[in-house]
Amino acid sequence: MKIGNITFKEYPLILAPLEDVTDLPFRLICKRLGADLMYTEFISSEGLIRDARKSVVKLELEDEERPVGIQIFGHDTDSMIKATKIAEQANPDLIDINFGCPVRKVTSKGAGAAMLLNVPKMIEITKAVVKATRLPVTVKTRLGWDENSKNIVEVAEQLQDTGIAALTIHARTRAQLYRGIADWTLIGEVKNNPRITIPIIGNGDIDGPAKAMEMKNRHGIDGIMIGRAAIGNPWIFREVKQYFRNGSIPPPADITERVGICKEHLAHSVSYKGERRGMFEMRKHYSNYFKGYQNFKAFKVKLMGTEEVEEVMGILGEVEGYYKG
């Protein structure tokens, strides 16, 4: 698959942009474990223009995570143009437009998935962003606003005509949020539409190698995006990649690897964010890395209660020793 001037030698596995998850430390972990392309957390166009710290800090990229895209969202064309130019200065490999976020604080302002209710505005913004940058532009969206307005087949054609380099489709409507079962049928229709020539990437409910292979083979999509299933489980990229290569699935990450990855994640977090903030923001990840391990709650309490990096590293060593027996 090729997106602009980015060529993927293997079938691409892509880390979805996830708010408060896919920051630089987490992306570095996923890259090492097999992710082929990643996006930043979604960034408010208005926040970038105002130079808001929360938005600007998300622009930080590292060469070792490339190729990487910056994802922006907004409802105003001029603001999206300005945000695109600011994002371009961070030297990403591509720009992605979020027309898929379903949360109320975004859709209530007419942005994210709300653009599916205003397709002319969606197309206007996309054309403007494509024109404003030298970089490839991609789009991520959903099947439609609700069950009665699944308009993705028509929307995909119009988006392609703006000059975007690829389209990612989440296999749910906005009304579903993240509930229910993802329906990939319409993604397949978009991909098999003879008018569509750009790469089509599928997203939604990919929780392991078998599901990834099933969606790849059934719908002929050009790439797979993995989001929530990578939280606390970044080795999902390695597992899917190996399954695609030779049909085998590596054994699940054992406690030693889980502890090792958690320590690596913590080290990245502290390095890039400073000790206090890096420690604080890691707290949401501990339970995810050890999900399913009985009696972990006592360790979690200890991990959440310390503000010293070396103490946390020591507690993680205790976790490994306890579960190794």
Residues noted as catalytic: 101
Same domain, 115 and 158: yes
pTM of model > 0.75? yes
pLDDT by residue (tens digit) across 275-306? 999 999 999 999 999 998 999 999 999 999 88
Torsion of CA 182, 185, 186, 192, to 10 degrees: 140
Same domain, 66 and 185: yes
Same domain, 93 and 54: yes
Same domain, 260 and 130: no
Alpha helices in the chain (DSSP H): 24-32, 45-49, 53-56, 77-88, 104-107, 119-132, 152-161, 185-191, 209-219, 236-246, 255-273, 275-289, 296-304, 309-324
Q: What is the percentage of the chain residues whose pLDDT exceeds 90?
A: 88
Select the highest-mean-pLDDT range: 126-135, 240-249, 299-308. Answer: 126-135
φ, ψ (nearest 5 deg) of residue 45: -60, -40
Average pLDDT, the chain: 94
Q: How far is it, in rounded angstroms, from Cα 229 to Cα 208?
A: 8
Contacts of 144 (CB under 8 A, 6+ apart): 116, 150, 151, 152, 173, 174
**Which pLDDT score is estimated for 144?**
93
User: Domain boundary at 199, 217, 246, which?
Assistant: 246
Same domain, 242 and 263: no
Same domain, 217 and 111: yes
Same domain, 187 and 231: yes
pLDDT by residue (tens digit) across 14-46? 999 998 899 999 999 999 999 999 999 999 999
Same domain, 212 and 302: no
In the block, tokens 């922006």 appear at 72
Q: How far is it, in rounded angstroms, from Cα 107 to Cα 100?
A: 9
CA angle 185/36/191 to nearest 5° reads: 25
**Which pLDDT score is estimated for 249?**
86
Q: What is the DSSP letter of 230?
A: G
Domain enclosing residue 277, as ranges? 255-324
Does residue 325 have a pLDDT over 80? no
Q: How many residues does the chain have?
A: 325
**Which pLDDT score is estimated for 51?**
81
Same domain, 230 and 264: no
Same domain, 261 and 217: no
* Tokens coding 26: 């987490």
Same domain, 263 and 196: no
CATH number, residue 191: 3.20.20.70
Is 73 in contact with 111 (CB distance < 8 Å)?
Answer: yes
Same domain, 159 and 212: yes
User: Domain boundary at 246, 281, 309, which?
Assistant: 246
Number of domains composing the chain: 2
User: Domain boundary at 190, 216, 246, which?
Assistant: 246
CATH number, residue 271: 1.10.1200
Q: Is the Cα torsion angle 87, 93, 97, 103 positive or negative in sign?
A: negative
Q: Which residues pair with 97 in a beta bridge?
A: 72, 139
